[in-house]
Structures are given as C-alpha cells and as structure tokens.
Amino acid sequence: MLHIKSLKVSVEGKEILKGIDLGVGAGEIHVLMGPNGSGKSTLAQVIMGQPFYAVVSGRLTVDGKDLKNLSPDKRAKLGIFLAFQHPVEIPGVSMFGMLRKAKQAAISEKKPERKSASLFRNSEAKTNKSVIPLYNRITKGDGFDARGFRAEVLDYLADLKLSGDFLKRALNEGFSGGEKKRSEILQMLALKPKLVILDEIDSGLDVDALKLVASAIKQFTVHSSQSSVLLITHYARILKYLKPDFVHIMMDGRIIKSGKLELARLVEEKGYGLFGSSRLRSNNNILRPSVARGEVT
C-alpha cells in the first residue's frame, strides 16, 4: 500500500522532514503521534501532494506507483484521501453535490476512455496548508446510481448523528468544529478511498463525538477491508475506542520509534519527554518499515 523511504522535505529552504521511513500495509491502521512541530501534518500534506512543500529526496509510493510527479487531484483519483485539520469553507458547493461529483468522478476514472476534469483550489495553501481537489465535470451514463448513493449517504449521516439537511449546506460554511470533523468522516465513508489520512480528526471533540468518530473509522475498516488508515494525533484518548495495528512516534522530523498500542499508552503515561533521551533515540530503537511490525522495544 503506502511505502515511504528516506523522505526529506523542506519549506523555503528549511528542512522539515529529515528522513522518514514508513510502511503501511493494506487493511492496516497506523497511528502517528508526536508533539506540535514534529512534522506530522507536513507528512500528511506531502503524501497528498501539497505544492507548498519541496521533496528534497526519498521515495513515496502507493501500490507501487511513484507519487513524485502526481498532482493532488491525480492522487485523489488513485484513492488517497486526506481529512484536513482545518477544512476550508467553499461557498456555493453543497455537501452532497461535492460527494456526488467526487464519487462519480472516481467511478468514471476506473473506466477506459472516460475523462473527467478537476478544479484544484489552493489559493489559501500557504495559510491553511490545504489542498482540495474538487471534481467539477461529470459524464452521464457511467453507471452511477445517484439515488442509491444518496440513500447510502443518509445512512452514514444517521450514524454520525447528523440530519439530512446537512447535505444541503455549503461545504464547511458555518460548520461548527465538530461538524467539520464529522463532515470529513462522512466523506471518508461515502467515497471509500484506499488510503485514508486523518490529520488530528480527534482534536476538539467531546467524549460523545470522539466515540462517534472512532466507531465510524472502525466501520470503515470493516467494510473496506483492503483500505488503510494513517491516523495523526497528539493524544492517545481516541485509542480507547480504536485499536491500531501499529503506533509510530515522530519528533523533530523523524519517526524515532514504532510499536504496538502499548507505545501509545507509554506516551500517555510518561509524555513525549521520555523520547528525548539519547538511549531511546539511538539507532537500535528506530524501527524501519521492514521491522516496524514488532512489539515495542
């Protein structure tokens, strides 16, 4: 699925990612934890193709396909989905309109000689660090069942405790913080991408909303068993309701330790300061993708 090798990334000449190695297999849930400024969100944006970041060296592939020269909309069509930490408001584009167009474009993309256009909005890329591919042309007669899709989306709305009127609202416009988070999860459920990156989807959520989001992620992994999830977070609290396959600790632009759920519990108990010692930052404790499928060392 996702393979990252020796990835180095800079912004305006400053190195942010300093040699990332990570492997995420099909159907796996990986959690990336770390303090503010460690490079977690930068990694998410780089995987999605945010042009603000410069890839200095390294390799990034999904299902063996090199992402280096692919634009964000091309990556979206490959099945990569990023739930933004700070989603941008898009007046005039309804929630369901966006979902319908994105879903139909994904179906059309899988068919030979079927073309679709896209709109790449990045006017706020530097301030919001957001890249939003929106599909704005749809070909008819591609076998898309709009009525069935709407019924499916309504079921997801009910699971997320959202009303049907939510689909009529402009995308993220006037949404509360919790609604924005659930909007991103709704998109994940409806579009069924192969690689899901959730950037701090748990931030700012109360206990009830956190349980809803965690339940939706579990539902997604059950029904899309070959899809993978990379969950980025500061805290272990969402892991009370969601069991990942692997946990990685990121500090100062590097993944310094990988392990199982016990690693997240260790962070919750001891804090990130535990990983500042030379002993835990030694090479013997840095697990590369080939050996990252082990227990905490």
Residue 30 lies in a domain: yes
3-state secondary structure of 9: strand
Residue 160 lies in a domain: no
DSSP 272: G
Q: What is the dihedral of CA 142, 144, 146, 147, to 10 degrees?
A: 120
Over the stretch 268-292, which tens digit does the pLDDT of each residue have? 999 988 887 444 444 434 444 433 4
* Domain coverage including residue 73: 2-87+177-285
DSSP 273: G
For residue 253, pLDDT over 90 is answered with yes
**Rounded distance between C-alpha atoms, residue 87 and residue 271, angstroms:** 29
Query: Which of the four pLDDT bands, split at 50, 70 and 90, describes residue 225?
Result: confident
Lowest-pLDDT choice from 115-129, 136-150, 169-183 = 115-129
Domain total in the chain: 1
The DSSP line for 162-219 is: --GGGGGSEETTT--HHHHHHHHHHHHHHH--SEEEEESTTTT--HHHHHHHHHHHHH
What's the burial of 270, exposed, middle or buried (CB within 10 Å: 0-12/13-18/19+)? exposed
* pLDDT of the residue at 120: 32
Residue 185 lies in a domain: yes
Over the stretch 90-131, which tens digit does the pLDDT of each residue have? 999 999 999 998 888 877 766 544 333 333 334 333 334 433
* pLDDT of the residue at 273: 85
Residue 101 lies in a domain: no
Residue 10 lies in a domain: yes
Residue 42 lies in a domain: yes
Residue 55 lies in a domain: yes
Global confidence as pTM:
0.81
Residue 108 lies in a domain: no
Query: Which of the four pLDDT bands, split at 50, 70 and 90, describes residue 144?
Result: confident
H helices of the chain, in order, are 40-48, 72-77, 95-109, 125-128, 146-159, 177-191, 207-223, 261-270
CATH code of 241's domain: 3.40.50.300
